[in-house]
Amino acid sequence: MYCKFHPKIQVSLICAAPHKCQFKRKMCVECQQEHGVEVKQTILMKKFY
Ligand SMILES: [Zn+2]
Ligand SMILES: [Zn+2]
């Protein structure tokens, strides 16, 4: 699955920061940086497969 905002990048992370994203926001690495969360505050989507 590719990122809605960065069509060339695969979505691989879910925000797990304490600020509560709506719908546990799915993110690519670019989104993670824009979103301002650290890697340890995200969940790798691999864990769900
Ligand atoms: Zn978030
Ligand atoms: Zn993105």
* pTM, rounded to two decimals: 0.77
Domain total of the chain: 1
When pLDDT is cut at 50, 70 and 90, the band that residue 15 belongs to is: very high
What pLDDT does 8 receive?
A: 96
In a domain, 3, yes or no: no
* CA atoms of 27 and 22, how far apart (whole Å): 12
In a domain, 35, yes or no: yes
Residues spanned by the domain of 23 = 13-48
Amino acid, single-letter form, for residue 12: S
Q: What is the pLDDT of residues 17-45, one digit of tens each?
A: 989 787 678 999 999 999 999 989 999 88
Decide if pLDDT at 47 tops 80: no
In a domain, 4, yes or no: no
In a domain, 27, yes or no: yes
**24 CA from centroid of ligand 1 (Å):** 7
In a domain, 2, yes or no: no
Residue with tokens 């940086």: 33
- Of all ligands present, the nearest one to the C-alpha of 37 is 1
* CA atoms of 49 and 34, how far apart (whole Å): 26
When pLDDT is cut at 50, 70 and 90, the band that residue 46 belongs to is: confident
* CA atoms of 3 and 13, how far apart (whole Å): 10
In a domain, 42, yes or no: yes
